[in-house]
Amino acid sequence: MAKNSYKAEDIKILEGLDAVRTRPGMYIGTTSVKGLHHILWEIVDNAIDEAANGYADRIEIKLYKDGSASVEDNGRGIPTDIHSKAGVSGVQVVFTQLHAGGKFDSGSYSYSGGLHGVGASVTNALSEWLKVEVYKDTVYAMEFRSYLDESTGKVKSGVPVAPLKNTGIKTKKKGTFVRFLPDKRVFETVVFSAETILKRLKELAFLNKGLTIDFYDEHTDYHRVYRYEGGLVDFVKYLNEGKSTLYGEPLYAKEEKDGILVEFAIQHTDAYVDGVYSYVNNIPTPEGGMHETGFRSGLTRSFNDYAREKNLLKEKDDNFLGDDFKEGLTAILSVKMQNVQFEGQTKTKLGNPEARPAVESVTVNELDALMKNKKLAKTFEAIINKAMNAAKVRLAAKKAKEIARASKSIESQNLVGKLAACSGRKPETNELFIVEGDSAGGSAKQARVRQYQAILPLRGKPLNVEKKKLEQILQNEEIRTIISALGTGIGSEFSLDSLKYHKVIILSDADVDGSHIRAILLTFFFRYMKELINEGHVYIGMPPLYKVYKNNVEEYAYDDSELQKKIEIVGRGYSIQRYKGLGEMDPSQLWETTMNPDTRTLMQVTIEDAAEAERLITVLMGDEVGERKKYIFENADFNKEDKFAKMKR
């Protein structure tokens, strides 16, 4: 009786595995290289589970020359005794029974949305062979094969070669070893990628503190061991490597709430982008979901409360927005829970609504506890400071947007600040000269062709915003005037169609101040009007450095080598005038050398120039005094070896 039902059960089970082979896509999503790795992850996940439950602390993954792969842990070993319902060994159940919640069962796609969780039997079904060994005092062994059934012409999948056997061979090891050869008849490729595997193993090592993950590839004799005593803290530190962090140690917490285990680590850098990486049961959730939503609102609430308590936010101030705390934030959120539902485009978004309040509550609770720690006062202060800056920028950008909008009204067109607008209304031919200094600005106004040339003088050192945050240039009068004059708006509001001058020409002196102003302007355009540069509308005017003259002969030289040539042209008895600034030229000289389209030289600014300028400015304005000193030291010849002057003509 027992034997009969055991046989019947067996047949049904094998039909199940055959179904996997008939429609592999339903179980592993794809038979591409991604699917190939999926059947490896099924096995790895089982070993990770054993470790996560505290029964194993070491996992070895090996790639063999025959194309097979193996995974071994030092856990309790898959149960070897006879499973009461199935009537076969636990090992046989694991490799021949489709995981509950598998495809045919509910049609709910609950198999973790194409990620893991379909079970080791799917790996078996899609392999040519699979061997398992369990180490428990002695070595237990079993093997499965897929073979072509001559009578039906179909492949039978994952059939036991023999029941689980206790070999009697004594062993001191504990654990489970599984080796399998992916079936060439199933997969588009059966070549594992060591790179793909290493990337994931490293991630798993970060997510599972203290777990040793050992990888060996026979093809290349490459060996690698991952082990992170700091877990998520090490993960965050790794992601922030090479960046400048706002505080030394990441904040870390772990707590369970309503059956959901929540663990996170965060650390801010001085960057503007954020990197929040979330996981559910060790599976990445790049589309976010309920756990991430709860986490973000928890962070926002907690930090805002702290800012209020410490009077860093005054009564009249609005709360910081979530986005303000996101700037420069690197965070790992790892959640472990049951009955996971994945949603979204790529089924990588956590749908379980219960995750949201649980994670939010843990986040607030744990951060509040950390905030009571006096040693972390500096850390939280730095976070609030960063948010404060972000909020300032946000408000400044909003203001700038309003200015840009205002600038669109015809009324304000000719009335912006000290702008001497042109009379023509054809943007394609119109030029805007941004001129350093009032006196050069005055000359330019006299020299210009009013019809199509507009002049905007910049006061003495209007843009000397050193040591202030770059974003504050948006609050600068002159910059606002430029935004307003161009008519395009900035940032997300930018519209090239509304550009009123198709040539925007920066005219500054060939000295340190001049190149500083130029760099700031380029940085501004780079950050807020990138398209203006990309579309080739930004130019740098090239005033000459020397005038060589005699009686009524005048020749201009734009650099030292040209000076020699010009001296020869003018000949004996020449005089040289060195222009220290634009202001030393009279209107007619300025016209001829720098403004007249027939005789002037313009350098069109490329996006690389602007990016370089931004870097320079970031270093010069940054908080890192050391970096700044280093930069200035290395570029001590700033004046002569000016980046842009070098590129002229």
Q: How far is the CB of 360 from ligand TSJ (least distance, A)?
A: 32
Q: Please count the residues of the chain.
A: 649
308 residue type, one letter:
R
Cα distance between residue 352 and residue 342, in whole Å? 8
Q: How far is the CB of 55 from ligand TSJ (least distance, A)?
A: 7
Q: How far is the CB of 73 from ligand TSJ (least distance, A)?
A: 5
Q: Which is nearer to ligand TSJ, 78 or 620 (CB)?
A: 78
Residue ranges in 209-268 that form contacts with ligand TSJ under rule CB under 6 A: none
DSSP string, 66-101: TS-EEEEE-SS-S--SBPTTTSSBHHHHHHHSPPTT
**Rounded to an integer, what is the distance from CA 386 to the centroid of its chain?**
19
Locus of tokens 């995981």 = 99
Going by the DSSP 8-state scheme, the letter that residue 593 receives in this structure is I
Going by the DSSP 8-state scheme, the letter that residue 169 receives in this structure is E
- Binding of ligand TSJ by 94 (CB under 6 A): yes
Q: How far is the CB of 490 from ligand TSJ (least distance, A)?
A: 55
| Residues 487 and 408 sit within 8 Å (Cβ to Cβ) | yes
Residue of 20, 47, 340, 605 that binds ligand TSJ (CB under 6 A): 47
- Binding of ligand TSJ by 73 (CB under 6 A): yes
Q: How far is the CB of 58 from ligand TSJ (least distance, A)?
A: 11
Q: How far is the CB of 38 from ligand TSJ (least distance, A)?
A: 13
Q: In terms of Cα–Cα distance, which of 184, 200, 208 is closest to 116?
A: 200
Cα distance between residue 347 and residue 368, in whole Å? 33
218 residue type, one letter:
E
Q: Which is nearer to ligand TSJ, 131 or 349 (CB)?
A: 131
Stretch that binds ligand TSJ, among 39-47, 326-334, 406-414, 564-572 (CB under 6 A): 39-47
Measure the CA dihedral 204/205/206/207, to 10°: 50
| Residues 549 and 570 sit within 8 Å (Cβ to Cβ) | yes
- Binding of ligand TSJ by 302 (CB under 6 A): no
- Binding of ligand TSJ by 43 (CB under 6 A): yes
Cα distance between residue 632 and residue 560, in whole Å? 24
**How big is the site for ligand TSJ, counted in residues (CB under 6 A)?**
15
Residue of 142, 178, 266, 620 that binds ligand TSJ (CB under 6 A): 178
Q: Which is nearer to ligand TSJ, 96 or 593 (CB)?
A: 96
Q: In terms of Cα–Cα distance, which of 597, 388, 582, 404 is closest to 493?
A: 404
Residue of 36, 39, 71, 422 that binds ligand TSJ (CB under 6 A): 71
Q: How far is the CB of 256 from ligand TSJ (least distance, A)?
A: 21
- Binding of ligand TSJ by 48 (CB under 6 A): no
Q: Catalytic site residues? A: 436, 509, 511, 513
Q: Which is nearer to ligand TSJ, 92 or 484 (CB)?
A: 92
Stretch that binds ligand TSJ, among 46-54, 285-293, 443-451, 522-530 (CB under 6 A): 46-54
Cα distance between residue 47 and residue 143, in whole Å? 19
Residue of 31, 46, 68, 341 that binds ligand TSJ (CB under 6 A): 46
Residue of 28, 39, 93, 120 that binds ligand TSJ (CB under 6 A): 120
Residue 499's CB is within 10 A of a number of other CB atoms, namely 21
Residue ranges in 402-461 that form contacts with ligand TSJ under rule CB under 6 A: none
Residue of 18, 50, 366, 609 that binds ligand TSJ (CB under 6 A): 50
**Both tokens assigned to 75:** 């856990």
| Interaction mask 74-93, ligand TSJ, x per CB under 6 A | -xx-xx--------------
- Binding of ligand TSJ by 145 (CB under 6 A): no
Q: In terms of Cα–Cα distance, which of 512, 416, 508, 527 is closest to 469?
A: 527
Cα distance between residue 352 and residue 344, in whole Å? 12
Cα distance between residue 286 and residue 279, in whole Å? 8
Q: How far is the CB of 132 from ligand TSJ (least distance, A)?
A: 6
Which parts of this chain interact with ligand TSJ (CB under 6 A)? 43, 46-47, 50, 71-73, 75-76, 78-79, 94, 120, 176, 178
